[in-house]
Structure 1
Amino acid sequence: MIKYTEVMVRYGELSTKGKNRKDFIGRLAGNVTKVLNDFPEIEIHPRHDRMHIVLNGAPFEEIDKRLKKVFGIQTYSPAVKIPKTLEDIEKTSLELMKETFKEGMTFKVNTRRSDHKFEYDTNQLNIMVGDYLFDHIDNLKAEMKHPDIVLRIEVRQDAVYLSNQLIHGVGGMPVGTAGKAIMMLSGGIDSPVASYLAMKRGVDIEMVHFFSPPYTTDKALAKAKQLTSILANYCGKINFIAVPFAEIQETIKEKLPEGYLMTIQRRFMLQLADRIRAQRGGLAIFNGESVGQVASQTLQSMVAINDVTTTPVIRPVATMDKTEIIKLAEDIGTFDLSIQPFEDCCTIFAPPRPKTKPKLDKAREYEARLDVEGLIERAMAGIEITPIYPNQEFLEDQVQEDMDLL
């Protein structure tokens, strides 16, 4: 099995960013460093045209799993550094091809040479290495325009670098290049997908999750943290902000008409999210609302709820079908967890007949009957902030705690 020595990372949209390109590349390098922080032997060298990751013995298979989830990477290739001799080039090229070639595939050799003093030029190397491969691999076919495999030979000053895989990353922008925002995370399917899409556009998000003990269980809170841990694979770390919401829900249920319970609850959630955004230096609020999906997500409801803030509220999945959202949730690994039956605070206090077309003036009137500032201040005083990293376990820990209590 080939022992790769480095990975060549190619940028995607960064190539269009002009004067900001250097900052974007620096941010990408920082994000790659975070997701590979448990491989201290690795060296990362960000350059203008590409990033070089020197493995120094680290296993490419593990690095590959991490790089597939880093936004801002268009493609990358594992490479082998070898001495600058024709014998080494031919021998290693054959090993690479035998590892990746399958019957019926086509190939081409593509040589680039920055060391112009090397004894063979690009055409000579293309021909000699191609002939060597034809002599040692049966049924090999050349294709110059659209080959299945491109064997890339780069002759640099220090050595020769060989690669023949082109692995696609997730694209997008490096997380953090678009600024910071708050994400309103429930335990459902939509908001984790919205979180993923926000990060793909370079937004550095912090999760705000509302919980209502004793009505919601510790498992529901653990589920939201577990979802955050899955999403942290795409950026290295996400702060999770748990907001106590039971007093607000109890007060609304006791004092206001049933039809407006959901509308007023959502207005409080948005006000709290906005307070947290301001404290944390965020520029916007994101959520997982999809137009018309539930009563609180009709356009009339959005008007009545958004009334409490002038901060931009961005809804990445607003126009997506449910089937599209589910497909993306499956792709990013959040779907199976999202459908686990641990009820969140939106579910347990949901009225049987919520207003689908609430009136803005009524929403303001009902909310004014409450001690809005006092309720918000007490909720803000009880928030808990937890930094969450990739692949942490929360649900398993909670199950173990429950068993210990039995």
Structure 2
Amino acid sequence: MEAEKKVIIVRFSGELSIKPDAEKYQAIERLCKQISLRLSEKNVFIDITHFHDRFQIKVSEQEVQSVCAVLDRSFGVGNYSLVDFQCSSKEEQILRLVPNYQDQFSGAEFRVRVKRSGQHSYSSMDLEKKAGAILGKTAKVNLSFPQKVLHIEVINEEAFLYSEKRKGPGGLPPHKRERALVLMSGGFDSAVAAWMLMKRGVCVDYLFCNMGGKSTERQTLQIAKVLSDLWNPDPIAKFISLDFTDSIEDIKKHSSLTYRQILLKCKMYEAASNVSKILGCYAIVTGEALGQVSSQSLQNLRAIDLSTRVSVLRPCIGMDKQEIIKKAYEIGTGVLSAKVLELCGITQGKAVRKANPSKTDEYLQSLDQSLIEKAIQERTEILLKDVDGKMLQSEYLFVDEISEGYEVIDCRTQKEFSQWHYAGARNLSLRELLANLKSLNKKKKYVLYCSFGTQTPVAAEIMQQSGFQAYAFKGGIGKLRSLQK
């Protein structure tokens, strides 16, 4: 006999709900396909039933947490709820389940919210009053500012009861026809800018203008991979790396010190314009924030924009640095970006803050126009879905089994840890782990794991350099689950 499946009610982001029907249903279809695809890659298969402003997912008990982990990072999801109890839509059966919440609501201020669709012998208000009377024996009603809410959804012949709404990321589901090219430095800003475009339903590719060699390229590739894996595993997303060393020398040779930074940005924009045409992208995305550095004044941004005919999007333009850094840690790139040495600054001394467009153009005309073309022809092009831990780090950083005597550290979020973790593991986010290395025992051996196995190699490398015997588990959470079985 097949075990009864758990029901998860998923609500769309508010913005998605108010779109015209044709556009809304297309977006909902994309969202459902995206969720199903991401779960199927984990060998989790779900049943989805769509209603007007939400859909239901039915899944086995042991796979609930895998579904929640995907919903937490699926753009277009406003919030979702795990159903505690379900029954027929008959009023007496619903009220029979309400006492299950008395202990949970005891002493709290509460209210009951009923949402119905279909024909029933009772009104929503009547059901709210009767359920409230049951809970009111041990709790106090507060319709305006309740501490707890009992939700009852009655849909045709079925009823669902739950008391929690988990927040989703909001935004819009990815649209494969909407593509943009992110100028990626590896720092906090460009990663956050990429995420903010993803949240608007845009699929992104990444362009890295390499001025720091293979090590910096590898670190930046890792950040792009983390963004893709966590937030939008686009099967055609690419990471493009251009060797920019010749262009930098050309700029230094033919320009004054004060204009070098502006000219470097112009050449990056020029390269991005050409690469965007190759990849079919409609815009360039940068992490620039107004006034953060000298090249990001309004006058300088205007001068830089003249070097491209492609739309330039700056999602971080109104954010301050601390806001950007905070967001980077929230989306999972902060620890990695903190270790990247950004090499975009090539001006020694004071840089111009009010660039003259005519003078900027004069300098640009003196530069070797063939260098960008050459860099693009010789570009490194990587499909992100093919990137794994081996491509990102050296083999000595990995283990593919957990031997006796190793201390296991789960580097995911506390929420993910509470949903499932390897037996005996302790939970330290990457940020917490690296900030507290002095508190760890160097005589112990450590194995670190994360969701996909692409973040912990950086931490393992840092720990090894600090004298620890530390390794990243190869294969991520999926392989670890099968290992424990």
Q: Do both proteins adopt the same fold according to a TM-score greater than 0.5, normalized to the shorter chain? A: yes
Corresponding residue SS for 2:354? coil
1:17 to 19, 25, 34: 19
Q: Which residue of 2 aligns with 1:346?
A: 344
Structure 1, residues 52-94: CA drift from partner, whole Å, max 9, x if none?
2112334434433332232222222212463437786456444
2:213 aligned partner = 216
Measured in 2, the distance between the counterparts of 1:339 and 1:400 equals 14
Residue 29 (str. 1) matches residue 9 (str. 2): no
Counterpart mapping for 1:15-164 below 5 A: 15-18=17-20, 19-37=22-40, 38-80=42-84, 82-84=86-88, 89-90=94-95, 92-95=97-100, 98=103, 100-101=104-105, 103-108=107-112, 110=114, 112=116, 114=118, 116=120, 125-126=127-128, 129-133=131-135, 139-157=138-156, 159-164=158-163
Aligned length: 391
Alpha-carbon distance in 2 for matches of 1:93, 1:83: 12
Q: Which amino acid aligns with 1:346?
A: C
Counterpart secondary structure, 1:36: helix
SS in 2 for 1:365: helix
Structure 2: gaps spanning 5 or more residues: 388-450, 466-485
**Which residue of structure 2 lines up, in the alignment, with residue 187 of structure 1?**
186
Alpha-carbon RMSD:
3.3
Q: Which amino acid aligns with 1:9?
A: V
Listed as ranges, the matches of 1:173-252 within 5 Å are 173-176=172-175, 179-212=178-211, 215-218=212-215, 220-232=216-228, 233-237=230-234, 238-252=237-251
Letter in 1 for 2:34: N
* Cα distance between partner residues in 2 of 1:189 and 1:154: 42
* TM-score normalised per structure 1: 0.83
Report the alpha carbon displacement of residue 355 of structure 1 after superposing the two structures with TM.
2.8
- Which deviates more from structure 2 when the two are superposed, residues 89-98 or residues 185-194? 89-98
RCO comparison, higher one (Cα < 8 Å, 6+): 1
Q: 1:150 to 1:177 in 2, by over 3 A?
A: farther
Distance 1:87 1:39, change over 3 A: farther
Aligned equivalents of 2:342, 2:143: Cα separation in 1: 57
8 Å CA contact 1:272–1:380 kept in 2: the answer is no
Q: Distance in 2 between matches of 1:392 and 1:184?
A: 25
In 2, the alpha carbon distance for the partners of 1:123 and 1:78 equals 23
Structure-1 residue corresponding to 2:394: none
Residue 329 of structure 1: how far off its partner (Å)? 2.8
Query: What one-letter code is carried by the residue in structure 2 that aligns with 1:21?
Result: K
Whole-angstrom distance in 1 between the partners of 2:376 and 2:459: 24
**CA shift at 1:124, angstroms?**
6.2
Distance 1:395 1:187, change over 3 A: farther
Q: Distance in 1 between matches of 2:464 and 2:128?
A: 65
Are 2:174 and 2:201, in contact at CA under 8 Å, matched by a contact in 1? yes
Note closer, same or farther for the CA distance 1:337–1:298 as it changes in structure 2 (3 Å cut): same
Counterpart code for 2:7: E
Displacement of 1:288 in angstroms is: 0.7
Deviations 1:230-263 (A, max 9, x none): 4332223453222222222233334443333222
**Superposition TM-score, scaled by structure 2 size:** 0.70
How far apart, in 1, do the equivalents of 2:114 and 2:37 lie? 33
For residue 355 of structure 2, what is the aligned residue in structure 1? 358
Q: Per the alignment, in what secondary structure is the counterpart of residue 308 of structure 1?
A: coil
C-alpha contact 1:8 1:78 (8 A) present in aligned 2: yes
For 1:111 and 1:16, the matched residues in 2 are separated by: 19
1:285 aligns with 2:284: yes
8 Å contact 1:27–1:177 — kept in the other structure? no
Shift of 1:273: 0.8
Where does structure 1 lack aligned partners over 5 or more consecutive residues? none
Which of residues 379, 382, 398 is equivalent to 1:382? Answer: 379
- Bigger shift: residues 261-270 or 377-386: 377-386
Percent of aligned positions that are identical: 27
Residue aligning to 2:412: none
Q: CA deviation at 1:335?
A: 2.8
User: Residues 376 and 354 of structure 1: is their aligned pair in 2 closer, same or farther, counting only changes over 3 Å?
Assistant: farther
Bigger shift: residues 165-174 or 151-160: 151-160
